[in-house]
Amino acid sequence: MKVRIPPIKCQGIKSKLVPWIQDVVEWDKSGYWIEPFVGSGVVGFNIAPHTALFCDSNPHIIALYSAINRGEITPGLTREFLVQEGTQLSAYGKDYYYTVRERFNDTHQPLDFLFLNRSCFNGMIRFNRQGGFNVPFGHKPQRFSKAYITKIVNQIEYVSKKAQVSEWTFCCQDFRKTLSTSVASHDFIYCDPPYAGRHVDYFNGWDEEDEETLYQILSACPAKFILSTWHHNDFRENAYIKTLWSKFHILTREHFYHVGAKEANRNPMIEALVANFQLRLKRQQPKQATEQLLLLERQMSYQL
């Protein structure tokens, strides 16, 4: 199964978990696919529903995808922009990166956001209390090679083509508003909120009250939902699995997150899918294949 990587990178991106999530989704696609925390968009863009509501509280993610959705940002325009900005970055290095960062914090242009996201340190998305993008330079002046630009352009093209034949809406709003709209029983909700109890950089933060509110809303929801969260790692457990989410169906698997350049920093975590319906894997994989997949995740995580 080929997973299409989106043009935006972010911490906790579910690229390697998409096949697992796709495998357990039970939905006839007759309603809306709803994501209150679209983030990179990797899950929804691979599900490729005909009608979808993609939301996030980060206005810059929504601005970029809305512009692609409306045809204002095209693959050709993206290539032209990245060639121009990449040439400047190659010539002037970190000084030019910080010039673009300052420009973006002043004008909030979506393509500047894309440029920063793909040239900043570790593909992070982080903002200060004043709403300014504050991730440092990623130390790669030659970041935008011809091949790398083509890769990003192809990612833009995939989203653009899917949007052209679909009815997608992108909204910048809080998850409470997204899920308080008219959600019907034939819709499907996929939630990938910040992981409570772990260090996260989310546009508006995430705390215990947010987690409990999300639980209350989903508990009363008429539609099927899947919630992505963490179950435990080698050091501690997600307390909310037992205190809040235990009444629902839970499926787990091991996953490796890439949080540094060294192998030692690629730490395993037990991921959890929480749902209000019975979770069944449609394609059972033998143990050997699962072990090979986990080994591949260790080796290839740095490439995303």
Average pLDDT of the chain, as a whole number: 89
Tokens coding 49: 């529903």
Of these ranges, 27-31, 91-95, 255-259, the one predicted with the greatest mean pLDDT is 91-95
pLDDT at 171 over 80: yes
Contacts for 244 with CB less than 8 Å, ≥ 6 apart: 211, 212, 215
Write out pLDDT tens, residues 198-232.
555 555 678 899 999 999 999 999 999 999 999 99
Q: What is the pLDDT of residues 268-290, one digit of tens each?
A: 789 999 999 999 987 755 444 44
Q: pLDDT tens digits, residue range 142-156?
A: 999 999 999 999 999
Question: Domains in the chain, start-ordered, CATH in brackets?
Answer: 15-57+173-303 (3.40.50.150), 75-154 (1.10.1020.10)
33-35/188-191 β-pairing: parallel
Mean pLDDT within 76-84: 98
**pLDDT-derived band at 23, boundaries 50, 70, 90:** very high
CA–CA gap between residue 157 and residue 93 (Å, rounded): 28
Mapping DSSP onto H, E and C, the string for the chain reads: CCCCCCCCCCCCCCHHHHHHHHHHCCCCCCCCEEECCCCCCHHHHHHCCCEEEEEECCHHHHHHHHHHHCCCCCHHHHHHHHHHHHHHHHHHCHHHHHHHHHHHHHHCCHHHHHHHHHHEHHHCCCECCCCCECCCECCCCCCCCHHHHHHHHHHHHHHHHHHHCCEEEEEECCHHHHHHCCCCCCCEEEECCCCCCCCCCCCCCCCHHHHHHHHHHHHCCCCEEEEEEEEECCCCECHHHHHCHHHCEEEEEEEEEECCCCHHHEEEEEEEEEECCCCCCCCCCCHHHHHHHHHHHHHHHHHC
Contact by Cβ (8 Å): 54, 170: yes
What pLDDT score does 269 carry? Answer: 84
The predicted model scores a pTM of 0.88
